[in-house]
Amino acid sequence: MALTAESITTTALDILSRYGLGDLSMRRLARELEVQPSALYWHVKDKQELFVLIATRMNAEVDARCPSTSDPLTTAMALRDVLLTYRDGAEIMLLGYSISPGKVTPGALSVEALGQAVSHGVMAHALGAVAIEQNRGLFGVANDDAGESFATITAHLLRAEGVWQ
């Protein structure tokens, strides 16, 4: 397989799924790809850029399910589902969002679609709520109503700002 930003991102997602964020290092990534760590830096500037690439890939999954004209609540639920698909998905997306929010925000939740305050509020809620949900799962804390609670709070945020009925 040729070494590309795409292949690096795919392998990084695989490492995340198997081992979690704590074990995602550039050295481990290089070892999995059977290259020297320095080879990665021809395609990915640094680990922060890797986080943005991974978060962008997760965002693409959301955008594939929910185009930019989609209902924002439906899109937020799809974002939750995608983040829960990946071990530490919310943490990775949060890192990517912190560095480059425009690249990792789903189109239907973007600043252009919802305005800056609502977009940021929905993303902050989504990333925080899913991170808590994922961490509770790691510690065996019951989380039975997490999806329903997420939907209710997201709907309240959207209604309060008048972007959803």
Domain ranges of the chain: 47-160
pLDDT tens profile 3-44: 999 999 999 999 998 999 999 999 999 999 999 999 999 999
CB atoms within 10 A of CB 51: 25
pLDDT tens profile 110-137: 999 999 999 999 999 999 999 999 999 9
Is the pLDDT score of 1 beyond 70?
no
pLDDT tens profile 37-77: 999 999 999 999 999 999 999 999 999 999 999 999 999 99
49: burial class by Cβ within 10 Å (0-12, 13-18, 19+)?
middle
